Amino acid sequence: MNEQFRRWNLETTEIWQITHSTLHWWQEQGRPLVGAFIEGSVAQHGKLLPGSDIDLCIVTPDDPDPAWFEERVVSPYTIEIYPLAQRTFDDLDWVLAQPALPFNLCEGIVLSDPLHLIANVQARLTPQLCLQPFRHKRLATCFGQAQVAYRQARVALEASNLAQARLQITIGLWNTIGMVCAFLCRCSTTRRGFVLLWQCASQWQRPDVIEQAKQALGGTQLTWQEVEALTDQAAEMKERARESILSLRDSAEAMQAAWPLLCTVVWEGSAAHRAPQAQQQVLTALHYETPTQIAQRYRAASELTQSVWDIISPLPPTS
């Protein structure tokens, strides 16, 4: 067993067994495997955080079949399988410029690496992970991706494609979180993304950024009672969302929890078709329902992204 797992006196033995059984199942399907590692909360914290799943990255020799990106339930765990082509490692400068990938690689718990490919990449990336040039590259990457998303959101609004507009706005906001995390030199996170943004805005003494964030999240002031009721609705689309969102109650403001709530109803497309009324209730409460509301969210989100860029880009990264 991996030495990192031995140090954790948690549920890691069972996780180790389940992930290896998943790799065995993968190969039984005739799918190629160059290596595999666990990323995300298990790798970072040594345990499953509330509402989380096991993120399993499987390295394949060529570009993976899109059907291989899947969710596999091995009770009581849910395993998110994310295949990654071996050629991804060819340009390590490019890898270091990505908001999440270098952290997932450097912090990953290796399950299989017969060619020592993952170990070599980890050894080369880790010393450079928080160097200033790469943190600024990550910042620029996220800002550029956010601008692309907002342009697509504007086109979608003009075409009255509200679902696409909502999706692109959340992609822009996700990359805004990525900018903050690039500044902090940490992996982007959905659940606590706006908690980090709030904290940084407070340190920068920029209450206007917090107000922009509130407007981007709905332009309202939710209470925890309201968040709990909305989370019950979101759980109809993704049951794990309930525990994940409500675990923020002791460490976050209710409005900060609106972000993972919004992501649940916007990003879980297929599940939303199974619970359209639940999705509608959340979108109505967060003011992401009508064309006018979505246009307001679009303007607030793009202004927020620009403000974060204007603040962070001239500053040296934190240590």
Give the pLDDT confidence score for residue 1 in this predicted structure. Answer: 45
Average pLDDT, the chain: 89
Binning pLDDT at 50, 70 and 90, where does residue 12 land?
Answer: low
Separation of alpha carbons 193 and 235, rounded Å: 20
pLDDT of 168 above 90: yes
pLDDT tens, position by position, 172-219 = 999 999 999 999 999 988 889 999 999 999 999 999 999 999 999 998
Kindly report the pTM of this predicted structure: 0.88
Smallest CA-to-CA distance from 15 within 41, 44, 47 is with: 47
Average pLDDT value for residue range 252-280: 84
Binning pLDDT at 50, 70 and 90, where does residue 257 land?
Answer: very high
pLDDT tens, position by position, 270-310 = 555 677 888 999 999 999 999 999 999 999 999 999 999 99
Is residue 108 within 8 Å of residue 37, measured between CB atoms?
yes
